[in-house]
Amino acid sequence: MKTILITGGAGFIGSHVVRLFVNKYPNYKIVNLDKLTYAGNLANLSDVEDKPNYEFVKADIVDSGKILSLFREYRFDGVIHLAAESHVDRSIANPTEFVFTNVIGTVNLLNAALDVWKGNTEEKLFYHISTDEVYGSLGKEGMFTESTKYDPHSPYSASKASSDHFVRAYCDTFGLPTLVSNCSNNYGSFQFPEKLIPLFINNIRYNKALPVYGKGENIRDWLWVEDHARAIDVIFHQGKVGETYNIGGHNEWTNIDLIQLMCKILDRRLGRKEGASAELITYVKDRAGHDLRYAIDSSKLQKELGWVPSLQFEEGLEKTIDWYLENESWMLNVTSGDYQLYYEEQYQKR
Ligand code: NAD
Ligand code: DAU
């Protein structure tokens, strides 16, 4: 039986990856290691928590001693590393936290893997999950490929870029078997409502202003989170050590077009007259260093490993909106307490 460590499994994408692996691979023992920050929520995994091949460990990847002792105890065969501080706006408010978790936390995991795998790296893999934001910002034309030069602009993307470099450096310098994938914006169930789609669904539902940064002309390339989890499965099992794979759905939207579409769907779902939700749109001060456009070329992954996205965006967005409407208690639970404070600090001054 293989023992696979998934870090950040109580977060948005991590919970989908844990669910997929626990259900699909009964012969793997899946260990979910998570600090349970504001973004981590064990309720995201209530449907798998009693499965015999699942175990949760609460730990901070910044704590090098704890991480090393866990690696020595569990002798993990593979690592899928998702734990991170993930929100750009929070990285602007508090960059240092992003260096600790995203850079130092990643190096601690690499050191621990090196310690327990030394001399025997056969069948071992350290798979690091990263983002398209490390490539910087595109103009109107072009797409990010795996050879696009890194050009991060936010403290978040700078910390992710740094962690990607460390992962590749441990492969080149120490022969640690590593892999990296860089994915575009994810959407779907269990996403913390600080990110555009769940935040706006919730605000529309409760008739709160929709704070659109700048003119709403920035472009993001949206991928359904379960398609990302499937890509991670394919890359973990079939990807070539030392390689990088871009993951994305060829699905670019300006923020304002996406917001208008959400308003339209929610008008129908909430029985409002057409155009009512769009009246909540409020243009606010732009995000500092706001990247204009992201677009991922995922042809390498599609051609070499046969992965393709499964869902059309409109269908995925409707499913996502329905999930948040049907899971009001999940939303109320994550928006109680500190969330209100964050919301006021983030949006009142804009
Ligand atoms: P998230 O913020 O929803 O979840 C992050 C998880 O990491 C949480 O469960 C949190 O408790 C945990 N965590 C944070 N600091 C930790 C620490 N010090 N020790 C242990 N656990 C810690 O993030 P997400 O959106 O699910 O993103 C997961 C990964 O995917 C991140 O590495 C992110 O950079 C990457 N990514 C995200 C997107 C996206 O659109 N959300 C796209 C591409 C790549
Ligand atoms: O591209 C992948 C990245 O996507 C991931 O690496 C990050 O972890 C993830 O958070 C996401 O980053 P973005 O900054 O693109 O996502 P966010 O949902 O914060 O914002 C999406 C767009 O919407 C962006 O152009 C900013 C804008 N926006 C966002 C918020 C929260 C607004 O206009 N208003 C808002 O209130």
All structural domains of the chain: 2-191+225-249+292-312 (3.40.50.720)
Q: Against a cut of 0.95, is the pTM above it?
A: yes
Whether residue 156 lies in the annotated active site: yes
The average pLDDT across 241-264 equals: 97
| Structure confidence at residue 306 (pLDDT) | 98
How many C-beta neighbours within 10 Å does residue 83 have? 29
User: To the nearest whole percent, how much of the chain has pLDDT over 70?
Assistant: 100
Q: How confident is the model at residue 337 (pLDDT cuts 50, 70, 90)?
A: confident
Tell me the angle at which helices 12-24 and 225-238 cross, rounded to the nearest 10 degrees: 60
Which of 54, 127, 135, 156 is flagged as catalytic? 156
Q: Which ligand 1 atom is the nearest neighbour of the CA of 195? A: 41
Answer whether residue 272 shows pLDDT above 80.
yes
C-alpha–C-alpha distance, residues 201 and 12, integer Å:
16
The 10s digit of each residue's pLDDT in 129-146 is 999 999 999 999 999 999
Answer whether residue 119 shows pLDDT above 90.
no
State the DSSP string of 99-154. IIIIIIHHHHHHHHHHHHHTT--TT-EEEEEEEGGGG----SS--B-TTSPP---S
C-alpha–C-alpha distance, residues 158 and 103, integer Å:
9
Answer whether residue 349 shows pLDDT above 80.
no
Whether residue 132 lies in the annotated active site: yes
| Structure confidence at residue 106 (pLDDT) | 99
Answer whether residue 1 shows pLDDT above 90.
no
Residues with CB under 6 A from ligand 2: 86-88, 131-133, 184-185, 195-196, 199, 211-213, 218, 220, 255, 287, 294
Which of 60, 132, 226, 227 is flagged as catalytic? 132
Ligand with the closest atom to the CA of 181: 1
Whether residue 133 lies in the annotated active site: yes
- Mean pLDDT taken over the chain: 97
| Structure confidence at residue 23 (pLDDT) | 98
